[in-house]
Structure 1
Amino acid sequence: MATGEGADALLALDPAHTPHTHLELGALPTAVPCARLHAKHVLREWHLEQIADTAELIVSELVTNAVRASAGLTCSEYAGRWVPGVPPVRFWLASDGEHVVVQVWDASGQMPVLQHPGADVESGRGLELVEALATEWGAYTPERSSGKIVWAVMAGSPA
């Protein structure tokens, strides 16, 4: 997990002056293809189709992890108020024209841990994929909310 000046600058982008989008989805397996498709179409609209495939993979991994982390939760705090029921997952995409940042919120306070599973293990490689594809990635606890936001930054053009 990395934290650098580039990521800090992108995470602080002003939505009023930056292309951005946001979705709130049920913490269900169907959230993953919805988020992927949304990212694909938005990046094409922003003329960033050259990284749409990479972004789809990163979005898929982060939203999948958020859905799994939300399993069994019965309430969440968001924007300073407690909300009963199964919490949603929230997905943001923003770009400064040179980079794209993906952020995914879930109500679980458990921070992600990069695992290195053995060759015979069928799951647990999602963050390895994110680390390989993203310029930077990390996680933080948002103010006035329970849970965490996991983010990843990609260059706006393939390396």
Structure 2
Amino acid sequence: MTTRQSDGPEYQLRIQVRPSQLSEVRRSVSERLDLWGLAALSDDVCIVLTEALSNVHKHAGGGFSDIALWCSGAYLWTMVSDSSHDMPVLKDPDLTMSSGRGMRLIEALTDNWLVIPSHAGKWLVCWFAVPSTVMPTAAEELEQCYP
């Protein structure tokens, strides 16, 4: 996993991607977001991570995936790795099919997303705007810096 600078909380986990693991990931991420005061983002983030990990299972053959979350400034960032070098494709939804809408769902629930190729496969990076109601005011930020 790459290292980056962050001025906010971070959370990382590594899982073997199996459908039976997804509920545990959702629980763990939801608890972490609640601790960070970002419960308002929990549903969307958990749906996006579930879709991303389902794609890892279906299109990248499962295996291990690294998951990272961090909050920096006005955004919550997520990253999910997989071992496939194939890039995801945004498909037009086919209402007669039971799958194929995952990337459209990710597109709809995030503020933006991108894919970063890596030597081991790729990273799906998504970001979510932190609601202004949970953003600290300038005075609160100063109090944290200068107690």
CA-CA distance at 1:99 after TM superposition: 1.1
Structure 1 vs Structure 2 CA RMSD = 2.2
2:98 to 76, 98, 122: 122
CA-CA distance at 1:47 after TM superposition: 0.4
**Counterpart AA for 1:101:** W
TM-score by length of 1: 0.75
Distance in 1 of aligned mates of 2:30 and 2:47:
10
Distance in 2 of aligned mates of 1:12 and 1:25:
19
Consecutive aligned runs of 4 or more in structure 1 exceeding 2 Å deviation: none
Indicate how the Cα distance of structure 1 residues 122 and 87 shifts in structure 2: closer, same or farther if over 3 A, else same.
closer
- Please state if 1:98 is matched with 2:74: yes
- Please state if 1:107 is matched with 2:109: no
SS in 2 for 1:30: helix
Q: Report Cα offsets for 1:76-113 as digits up to 9, x if no partner.
A: xxxxxxxxxx7301111111152111110011111111
- Please state if 1:150 is matched with 2:103: no
Distance in 1 of aligned mates of 2:106 and 2:85:
20
CA-CA distance at 1:13 after TM superposition: 4.8
SS in 2 for 1:104: strand
SS in 2 for 1:55: helix
SS in 2 for 1:62: helix
CA-CA distance at 1:66 after TM superposition: 1.4
**Aligned residues: percent identity?**
24
- Please state if 1:140 is matched with 2:123: no
Distance in 1 of aligned mates of 2:3 and 2:108:
23
Equivalent residues in 2 for 1:5-154, closer than 5 Å: 13-15=4-6, 17-71=7-61, 87-142=63-118, 145-154=119-128
Distance in 2 of aligned mates of 1:69 and 1:123:
12
Distance in 2 of aligned mates of 1:120 and 1:103:
31
Distance in 2 of aligned mates of 1:50 and 1:12:
27
Gaps of 5+ in 2: 133-147
Q: Which has the larger radius of gyration?
A: 2
**Counterpart AA for 1:150:** L
**Counterpart AA for 1:127:** M
Gaps of 5+ in 1: 1-10, 72-85
| Equivalence for 1:82 | none
Distance in 1 of aligned mates of 2:5 and 2:54:
27
